[in-house]
Chains A and B, each alone.
Chain A
Amino acid sequence: QVQLVQSGAEVKKPGASVKVSCKASGYSFTKYDINWVRQAAGQGFEWVGWMNLETGDTEYAQKLQGRVTITRDSSISTVYMEVSSLRSEDTAVYYCARNGMGDYWGQGTLVTVSS
Chain B
Amino acid sequence: DIVLTQSPDSLAVSLGERATINCKSSQSLLFNYNNKNYLAWYQQKPGQPPKLLIYWASTRESGVPDRFSGSGSATDFTLTISRLQAADVAVYYCQQYYTRPLTFGGGTKVEIK
Known contacts A44-B104, A47-B102; A100/B49 CB under 8 A: no
Q: Which of B86-110 contact A (CB under 8 A)?
A: 93, 95, 97, 100-107
Contact A102 B42 (CB under 8 A): yes
A95 cross-chain contacts in B, Cβ below 8 A = 49-50
- Total contacting residues, chain B, CB less than 8 A: 21
Contact A106 B103 (CB under 8 A): no
Contact A102 B106 (CB under 8 A): no
A37 within 8 A of B: yes
B52 cross-chain contacts in A, Cβ below 8 A = 101-103
Proximity bits, A99-115, B CB within 8 Å = 1, else 0: 11111011110000000
Contact B101 A103 (CB under 8 A): no
Which residues of B pack against A, CB within 8 Å? 38, 40, 42, 49-52, 55-56, 61, 93, 95, 97, 100-107
Which residues of A pack against B, CB within 8 Å? 35, 37, 44-47, 50, 59, 61-62, 95, 97, 99-103, 105-108
